[in-house]
Chains A and B, each alone.
Chain A
């Protein structure tokens, strides 16, 4: 089992650029979560999907953030335009029954 796969692992971009983070959940898991982790704010839930449908996006900080899950094996988190305060580690997780399995994260740096 490959686990949750995220790409890229590291992303450095300049303010104003569009950033797309990608996630492949574990096969058979029907829920997917996007989190952001920073030293100041800890682990924050941004959005989650059940059966590819967004259920709760109340954690998405603002309209610059959007997430899609076009099918059961792929999701994206897009930031457009990016800002320095978006610098963080972004985690994707998928869930089977009551246990979440996290990917390795994408470290985003916005200069």
Chain B
């Protein structure tokens, strides 16, 4: 079945460092891909999404490109801030409308 694999955390960075969180997927058909973010004590919030190959989702300085050839959707940000500290979830929605979430990657940004 469809699945998502994302890099294990935790990830600890200094402020203004470059961030990459890897995400790869397995799916039949043409899934939509998502990154969600969960701040402490809150529910998941949609960060960005891409619905077809080569689409780039972007929001709040974060970007991810839907790469069908490598079945990847890596999350990147050029300069992280302390306020970006959160847990990040990669997810896909397959042709059967089921949503699959990765295990989550905890990011801590230190001043």
Contact = CB atoms under 8 A, between A and B. Distances in A.
B46 A101 contact: yes
Query: Looking at chain B's contact residues, is the secondary structure mostly helix, strand, loop, or mixed?
Result: strand
B32 A43 contact: no
Contacts of A43: 44, 89, 101, 104
Contact of A42 (B51, B93, B98, B103): B103
A100 interface: yes
A105 B39 CA distance: 12
A98 B104 contact: no
A34 interface: no
Contact of A104 (B43, B99, B104): B43
22 contacts: A33-B99, A42-B104, A43-B44, A43-B101, A43-B104, A91-B43, A98-B32, A98-B51, A98-B93, A99-B34, A99-B49, A100-B46, A100-B99, A101-B46, A102-B43, A102-B44, A102-B45, A103-B43, A104-B42, A104-B43, A105-B42, A105-B43
